Amino acid sequence: MNDQEFDYLKQRILALAGIDLECYKSQQMRRRLEAFIAAQGMDTIPFCSVLARDPGALAKLRDFLTINVTEFFRDREQYQVLRTVILPKLLRRTDRLNIWSAGCSRGAEAYSTAMILQEISPGQAHRTLATDIDEGVLAVARKGGPYSPSDLKNVDRSLLLKYFTKSEEDLMVAPAIRRRVEFRKHNLLSDRFEPGFDLIICRNVTIYFSDGAKTKLLQGFHSSLKEQGVLFIGATETLLSAPSLGFEWIGKCFYRKSASSRLPQAQEAAAPLPRAVEGR
Ligand SMILES: C[S@@+](CC[C@H](N)C(=O)[O-])C[C@H]1O[C@@H](n2cnc3c(N)ncnc32)[C@H](O)[C@@H]1O
């Protein structure tokens, strides 16, 4: 694909799918798109014409671009820290947590958090907003599934029995948990961010975002979090620029919005664990 074809393809994808590829790592995205278009047995320009007239082809491309792999309690160890350290600490400050699962895919991460909250603060009404750019995954999330056995491999048996119902071979999230999560379409690269969150979970979403897009996203998350609010990211991600953006590292995958008047200077590797995580 030459430069002109790549530019044209980016324009078509923005117009047809609402995804701005300027916000993604350019060379990586180009290679991925070349491989995808070649696998369809086409060249770039004919592929653009197909996208304009075939909604199925557009949906397939959108799936490919957004990569919506997910599972419940992805990275068990980090969910354990969420359960035993982060959420109890946040709950000491408010009895109605406001949580945002950003880039939620089929809802596994938002539902995992809702299950933990039901376990540690039963009956308490927290709010969990879960958003994604992809309507297809949101439709599954809103119905509470179905989820396959591989989506559920990290779920403890006791939680499976309490919070899921069986539908043929697959499992659905039980209505009591489903009702606790509100799903909404939202593009992290262009839509407005709501303020007032105690916890933002954004995991495995930004791997193909450009550095500029990631920085803008973090600034948005910073404004959206309450003071001392927590950002929970993926196990393979790090926020090297976190201190300069007003976040302090408080343990693997967890960053806290620091008081703006005293931004921490230390780099992530040197930052001490918070007392809560140390004392685990
Ligand atoms: C790999 S999944 C991660 C799902 C979940 N956070 C997890 O870790 O299990 C990435 C999700 O990010 C969503 N996504 C990608 N770009 C996005 C954007 N610009 N705005 C909102 N969601 C986006 C995709 O649709 C996809 O569902």
Q: Give the distance (Å) from ligand 1 centre to CA of residue 279.
A: 33
**Of 3.40.50.2300, 3.40.50.300, 3.40.50.150, 1.10.10.60, which CATH number belongs to 76-278?**
3.40.50.150
- CA-nearest residue for atom 17, ligand 1, is 133
Contacts of 159 (CB under 8 A, 6+ apart): 115, 119
Most confident of 226-230, 268-272, 275-279: 226-230
Contacts of 54 (CB under 8 A, 6+ apart): none
Instruction: Kindly state the tokens that stand for 41.
Output: 């047995």
Query: Which residue's entry shows tokens 């959206």?
Result: 224
- Provide the pLDDT for residue 260: 59
- Provide the pLDDT for residue 238: 84
pLDDT at 155 over 90: yes
Q: How does residue 189 score in pLDDT terms, banded at 50, 70 and 90?
A: very high
Question: To test ligand 1's pocket by mutation, which of 14, 61, 66 has the most ligand atoms within 8 angstroms of CB?
Answer: 66
Q: Give the distance (Å) from ligand 1 centre to CA of residue 202.
A: 8
The mean-pLDDT minimum among 91-100, 146-155, 255-264 falls in 255-264
Q: Which residues approach ligand 1 with their CB closer than 6 A? A: 66-70, 74, 103-105, 108-109, 132-134, 137, 187-189, 203-205, 234
Q: Give the distance (Å) from ligand 1 centre to CA of residue 132.
A: 6
- CA-nearest residue for atom 15, ligand 1, is 66
Q: How does residue 272 score in pLDDT terms, banded at 50, 70 and 90?
A: very low
pTM above 0.95, yes or no: no
CA-wise closest residue to 134 among 173, 188, 170? 188
Return the H-helix or E-strand segment holding 172: strand 170-173
255 DSSP β-pair partners: 231, 249
Contact between 165 and 187 under an 8 Å Cβ cutoff? The reply is: no
Domain with CATH 3.40.50.150 in the chain: 76-278
Count of alpha carbons within 13 Å of 240, Cβ hemisphere only?
A: 1
Contacts of 123 (CB under 8 A, 6+ apart): none
Q: Give the distance (Å) from ligand 1 centre to CA of residue 5.
A: 26
CA angle 143, 232, 112 (to 5 degrees): 30
Q: How does residue 271 score in pLDDT terms, banded at 50, 70 and 90?
A: very low
pLDDT at 163 over 80: yes
pLDDT at 266 over 80: no
Q: Give the distance (Å) from ligand 1 centre to CA of residue 216.
A: 16
- CA-nearest residue for atom 27, ligand 1, is 105
- Provide the pLDDT for residue 229: 97
Contact between 229 and 248 under an 8 Å Cβ cutoff? The reply is: no
Q: Which atom of ligand 1 is nearest to the CA of 201?
A: 6
pLDDT at 236 over 90: no
pLDDT at 139 over 50: yes
Question: To test ligand 1's pocket by mutation, which of 105, 112, 231 has the most ligand atoms within 8 angstroms of CB?
Answer: 105
pLDDT at 159 over 80: yes
Q: What percent of the chain has pLDDT over 90?
A: 65
What is the DSSP track for 192-254? Answer: PPPP-EEEEE--S--TTB-HHHHHHHHHHHHHHEEEEEEEE--TT---TTTGGGTEEEEETTE
Q: Give the distance (Å) from ligand 1 centre to CA of residue 130.
A: 11
Count Cβ atoms below 10 Å from residue 180 Cβ, excluding itself: 20
6 DSSP β-pair partners: none
- CA-nearest residue for atom 7, ligand 1, is 70
